[in-house]
Amino acid sequence: MKRKSKILLSLVILLVIAITIRVVYINDKFPSQKNHTYAMGQEMQYKGCTMKILDFQVGSPEICKDVLDEYDYNKNFGEKPNVPNASKKVMLVTVNVKNNSDTDFKPSGFQIITGNVSNGTDMNLMDVYNPKGYKVKSNSESPIILAYTITENNVTSKKWMNFENEDFAISTADRDNYYLLKLNK
């Protein structure tokens, strides 16, 4: 019996050592992302581009009335049985992108965050606000409007009542880095 216990104990010790070596190897091969935080107006380097947030608006869909014609407004915010107009908020972020690379840059993967709620861009509004497209050609500079919508059922009723006064940020990440761009009101 003693011999079986020693063999079992040896196997457990070997297993623990093997798992520890593997964990160390993976953490060395794939280190955790570095966090980068920027304030509104600060320049950020991302994928060969220099980006700077110029403006941020949050409010009811009425803030889009000056840009959207009646058709686009109704298409994006018309009274639908499941999502009435009053239960949506719009966030518009104007970003200046200077593309310093040899390839075109198209912003993708930029999410807006408030508290524990995040949402990707609203592609219909992105198309309307960026009629020439939102791709920045290589070695050029262009402002882009990132457009987001969020519905009331994504947040608590208390948060919804004071939604425009919440703290917002935009986040994105690549393999090695996590970027957080804080939006000040």
CATH match of 33-183 with 2.60.40.1240: yes
**Domain boundary assignment for the chain:** 1-31, 33-183
Mean pLDDT estimate for the chain? 84
Triad 163, 168, 173: Cα angle to 5°: 140
12-16, 23-27, 106-110, 151-155: which is most confident: 12-16
Q: Which stretches of 30-138 are DSSP H helices? A: 70-77, 123-129
Q: Residue 124 class from Cβ within 10 Å (0-12 exposed, 13-18 middle, 19+ buried)?
A: middle
Contact 88, 151 (CB under 8 A): yes
Is residue 21 over pLDDT 90? yes
**Rounded to whole angstroms, how far apart are CA atoms 99 and 95?**
12
pLDDT at 153: 81
pLDDT at 71: 62
Q: Residue 160 class from Cβ within 10 Å (0-12 exposed, 13-18 middle, 19+ buried)?
A: middle
Is residue 31 over pLDDT 80? no
pLDDT at 160: 83
Q: What integer is the mean pLDDT of 154-167?
A: 84
- pLDDT one-digit tens code per residue, 97-152: 999 989 998 888 888 888 778 888 888 888 888 888 888 898 999 999 998 888 88
pLDDT at 84: 53
